[in-house]
Amino acid sequence: MRVLLPENIVFERECPLDALIGASKRMHSVLPLLCSGCGLCIPACPVDCMKLVPTAHVWTNRDADDARTRYHARLQRLLKQSLPRTLPMAKQDETHKRRQAVQEALSKARARRLQWAQQRGEKNG
């Protein structure tokens, strides 16, 4: 099955088995030997041109094992791709927590100094 898609970055990501190949605004293809026929790509297709058709390929246990391996590899890849975006946020949180701790310590020190000054003023006055 060959499809031409104008906006397909999200579309490509819909396939849990990496059976869709193509580039943004370019022709996309389904790799029939990798496709399980799950149908997830059908509602995601931006130009509504996908459909499931029967093939002569009989799905074996080996195919299922390979599909599972590809699925887990895909999840690992997507997780790895998302890490650079999450790390700076984690660092920002850490910096924010440190700043908050410093501000709290400074506030306590100011309050203590003010208390001492008031106690000295009461003694002297």
> What CA–CA distance (Å, rounded) separates 4 from 1?
10
Q: Torsion angle of alpha carbons 56, 33, 14, 86, nearest 10°?
A: 160
Q: Please give the residue ranges that form the binding site for ligand SF4 (CB under 6 A).
A: 14-15, 17, 19-20, 30, 35-41
Q: Which is nearer to ligand SF4, 5 or 35 (CB)?
A: 35
Nearer to ligand SF4, 57 or 120 (CB): 57
Residue nearer to ligand SF4 on the CB measure, 59 or 116: 59
Q: Give the residue with the Cβ less far from ligand SF4, 57 or 98.
A: 57
Least Å distance, CB 76 to ligand SF4, is: 18
Is residue 40 within 8 A of residue 74, CB to CB? The reply is: no
Shortest separation between residue 81's beta carbon and ligand SF4, angstroms: 19
Q: How far is the CB of 53 from ligand SF4 (least distance, A)?
A: 11
- Residue given tokens 């920002």 in the structure block: 92
The amino acid present at 76, given as its one-letter code, is Q
Closest approach, Cβ 16 to ligand SF4, in A, equals 6
Contacts of 67 (CB under 8 A, 6+ apart): 17, 34, 36
